[in-house]
Amino acid sequence: MKISKVYEGREHSLIKHELLKGYLETLLCIVGISGVKEFVYVDCFAGPWGDETDLLTGTSISISLEILSKVRKTLADVHHIHGTKFRAIYVEEDKKRFRQLSEYLQKNCPDGIECHPLYGDYSEKQDEILRLCGDKSFAFFFIDPKGWLDVGIPRLEKLLKRPKSEFLITFMYDFLNRAVGMTDMGRQVEEMLGTLSDEDYQEISFLQPKDREEFIVRKYRKQLKAAMGLDSASHPRSYHAVVKDKDKERTKYHLVYITRHHKGIVKFAEQSAKSDFFQSVVRIQTKQNATPQRDLFSAEEEAERLGDERVDLVEVKRYWLKQLSDQPVIFNEARLADMLEDTGWLIKDFQLAFGELLSENKVENLNVKKKRRSVYVHFDEGEQLRRCV
């Protein structure tokens, strides 16, 4: 695998952009085929970051425009769906970067896409953003700041309350983690995590680093969902993907995803699995590039060979057994979304664990007529599963 020079030194951005690209295309196709006639993409921190060329390659700007244009063509050519309106809103508060952004959009906005650059702080521009989104459109918000204070709940609140919207938010855990417990940062921490009791602070202080990270990210997700609010048809759901530092075995940041539809969680989790493998490849390739000697395996082969040790399958198997009864239970995509949101695991973790339980004669899929080799549960078909007595 060859990493583009555009991403050298910022490999974490490559992983983030691959996840954005893969999920955004999937989302747009699903939404377009479902009959939605207006789609709006909103980038609240458009940048452009790290690119001083007129091409703006390797930025969320060029990537999003490419995907919008590609899906518009796919809907027309493959699905014979015409007339879907696509708008893209790019917000930037730095004057120099905004000028570069505006010039780029003026020259490169694809046919059939409305491009709107906005100058200023996205939080102060929320009314204008919502006006440009309109009332009938489905909107996807990409919120990718460099710091953690920019995604506090009060700054996001108006956007979060908008119906027919999804969000992908960069959550800079490391910065927030350092601030937790600092008395002079209490207000800022609570804008992210809500009111923390003395018991919460005590629990956080005693947690191991991995558990502490999970606790804080889930607190943030909970606050986002509360701000999003309930509606008559659905409730907020969330999931998050981890992006690691290219050199160290530590989290760079989380990509927190918020939606109101169970299928969104399933599709984002599918893309997260692809991103997870891609991330392993990038990290291995970065290490290989740093040494002059030729490696026996390619980065892709090495990633496959090492496998994934992010989850203990024994724990996943225990979880499965708690979900099951000796009476048949239907497991569909809505049920899978509940499991994904509850645990943060990947779909393949559930499939592998269920496969092991099958081989141990501890569970049964009542819809299986012949032996399956890898996908042991077809959640999209709503199969009946039970625990063996």
Q: 363 and 262, same structural domain?
A: no
Residue 298, classed as helix, strand or coil, is: coil
Q: 153 and 276, same structural domain?
A: yes
* Structure letter (DSSP) for residue 366: T
Q: 372 and 246, same structural domain?
A: no
Domain boundary among 269, 287, 305: 287
- Structural domains of the chain, count: 2
Burial tier of 348 (Cβ tally within 10 Å: 0-12, 13-18, 19+):
middle
**What pLDDT shows up at residue 60?**
87
Separation CA 58–CA 51 (nearest Å):
8
Helices (H), 139-208: 153-160, 173-179, 186-193, 198-206
Q: Is residue 364 part of a domain?
A: yes
Q: Is residue 111 part of a domain?
A: yes
Domain hosting 83: range is: 5-287
| Bridge partners for 269 per DSSP | none
The answer to whether the Cα torsion of 261, 265, 266, 267 is positive or negative is positive
| Residue from 200, 176, 201, 256 nearest 224 by CA | 256
**What pLDDT shows up at residue 244?**
79
**What pLDDT shows up at residue 275?**
78
* Structure letter (DSSP) for residue 109: P
Instruction: Give Dmax over CA atoms of the chain in angstroms.
Output: 67
pTM over 0.85: yes
Across the beta sheet with 329-331, the strand order is 329-331, 383-387, 363-365
Of the CA atoms within 13 Å of residue 163, those in its CB half-sphere come to 7
* Structure letter (DSSP) for residue 72: H
How many Å is the Cα radius of gyration of the chain?
A: 22
Q: Is residue 194 part of a domain?
A: yes
Q: What is the pLDDT along the chain (389 residues), one digit of tens a residue?
A: 555 555 555 666 777 888 888 999 999 999 999 999 999 999 999 976 555 555 566 688 999 999 999 999 999 999 999 999 999 999 999 999 999 999 999 999 999 999 999 999 999 999 999 999 999 999 999 999 988 899 999 999 999 999 999 999 999 998 899 899 888 899 999 999 999 888 988 999 899 998 999 999 999 999 999 999 877 677 999 999 988 776 666 788 899 999 999 999 999 999 988 877 767 776 667 667 667 666 655 666 665 656 555 688 999 999 999 999 999 999 999 999 999 999 999 999 999 999 999 999 999 999 998 889 889 999 999 999 999 97
**What pLDDT shows up at residue 255?**
93
What CATH number did the domain enclosing 197 receive? Answer: 3.40.50.150
What CATH number did the domain enclosing 364 receive? Answer: 1.10.10
Q: 172 and 108, same structural domain?
A: yes
Q: What phi-psi label fits residue 80: left (phi over 0), alpha (psi between -120 and 50 degrees) or beta?
A: left
Residue 257: φ, ψ to 5°: -115, 135
The answer to whether the Cα torsion of 355, 273, 335, 319 is positive or negative is positive
Domain boundary among 229, 253, 287: 287
**What pLDDT shows up at residue 350?**
97
CB atoms within 10 A of CB 190: 14
Q: 84 and 178, same structural domain?
A: yes
Q: 154 and 103, same structural domain?
A: yes
Look-up of token digits 């980065």: 299
CB atoms within 10 A of CB 16: 23
Tokens of residue 282, six digits: 């990038």
